[in-house]
Amino acid sequence: MRVATETLDRFLSTVGEVILNSSQLRTAASVSAKRPADLAAGLDRMDRVVGELQRRALELRTTPLLRIVEPLPRMARELAHRAGKRVEVDVERAEVELDRSILDRLSDPLVHLIRNAVDHGIESPEQRVAAGKSAVGRISIDALRAKDSIRIEVRDDGAGIDLEAVRRRAVEGGLVYPELADDLPAEAVAAFVFHPGLSTAREVSEVSGRGVGMDAVRATIESLGGRVELASEPGRGTRVALFVPITAAVQRVLLVAAAGQIAAVPIARVERIVEVPLASIDRSGREAFALVDDEPVPLICLAERISAAPGAVPAPRGHATLVLTDVRGERVALHVERVAGQRQIYVKPVPELLAGVRALAGLTILGDGRPVFVLDLNQLA
CB 117 within 8 A of CB 76: yes
Where residue 204 falls among pLDDT bands split at 50, 70, 90?
very low
Instruction: Tell me the percentage of the chain whose pLDDT exceeds 90.
Output: 31
Element (H, E) at 113: helix 100-116
The verdict on 155 and 281 lying in the same domain is: no
The verdict on 372 and 311 lying in the same domain is: yes
Among the three residues 213, 245, 277, which one is the final residue of a domain in this structure?
245
Among the three residues 217, 245, 273, which one is the final residue of a domain in this structure?
245
Q: State how many domains the chain has.
A: 3
The verdict on 220 and 183 lying in the same domain is: yes
CA distance 132 to 11: 56
CATH number at 283 reads 2.40.50.180
The verdict on 113 and 240 lying in the same domain is: yes
Where residue 37 falls among pLDDT bands split at 50, 70, 90?
low
The per-residue pLDDT for 31 is: 60
Pick the more confident residue, 330 or 237.
237
The verdict on 200 and 212 lying in the same domain is: yes
| Contacts (Cβ under 8 Å, ≥6 apart) of 139 | 76, 87, 88, 89, 90, 114, 117, 118, 121, 122, 154, 155, 156
Among 35-39, 71-75, 200-204, 286-290, top mean pLDDT goes to 71-75
The per-residue pLDDT for 176 is: 84
- Closest C-alpha among 228, 212, 234 to residue 160: 234
- Closest C-alpha among 118, 191, 126 to residue 157: 118
CA 239, 113, 99, 74 torsion-angle sign: negative
The verdict on 194 and 294 lying in the same domain is: no
The verdict on 216 and 132 lying in the same domain is: yes
Between 7-16, 56-65, 296-305, the lowest mean confidence (pLDDT) is in 7-16
Pick the more confident residue, 4 or 101.
101
CA distance 311 to 333: 22
The per-residue pLDDT for 264 is: 93
The verdict on 95 and 230 lying in the same domain is: yes
User: Mean pLDDT in the chain?
Assistant: 82
- CA angle 326-331-337, nearest 5°? 80
Among the three residues 220, 245, 270, which one is the final residue of a domain in this structure?
245
User: What separation in angstroms does the CA of 285 have from each of 5, 152, 282, 288?
Assistant: 50, 39, 10, 8
CATH number at 69 reads 3.30.565.10
Q: Find the mean pLDDT for residues 282-305.
A: 86
Q: Find the mean pLDDT for residues 297-321.
A: 70
Does the structure show a pLDDT above 80 at 336?
A: yes
At 103-143, the pLDDT tens digits run 988 999 999 999 999 998 999 999 999 999 999 999 999 99
The verdict on 72 and 194 lying in the same domain is: yes
HSE (side-chain half, CA atoms, 13 Å) at 32: 11
The per-residue pLDDT for 313 is: 45
The verdict on 87 and 233 lying in the same domain is: yes
Phi–psi pair at 71, nearest 5 degrees: -80, -10
Element (H, E) at 30: helix 5-30
The per-residue pLDDT for 14 is: 74
The verdict on 29 and 95 lying in the same domain is: no
| Cα radius of gyration rounded to whole Å, the chain | 24
At 187-198, the pLDDT tens digits run 888 888 888 767
Q: State the amino acid at position 127 in one-letter form.
A: Q
The per-residue pLDDT for 310 is: 44
At 239-281, the pLDDT tens digits run 999 998 887 777 889 999 988 889 999 888 899 999 998 888 8
The per-residue pLDDT for 312 is: 42
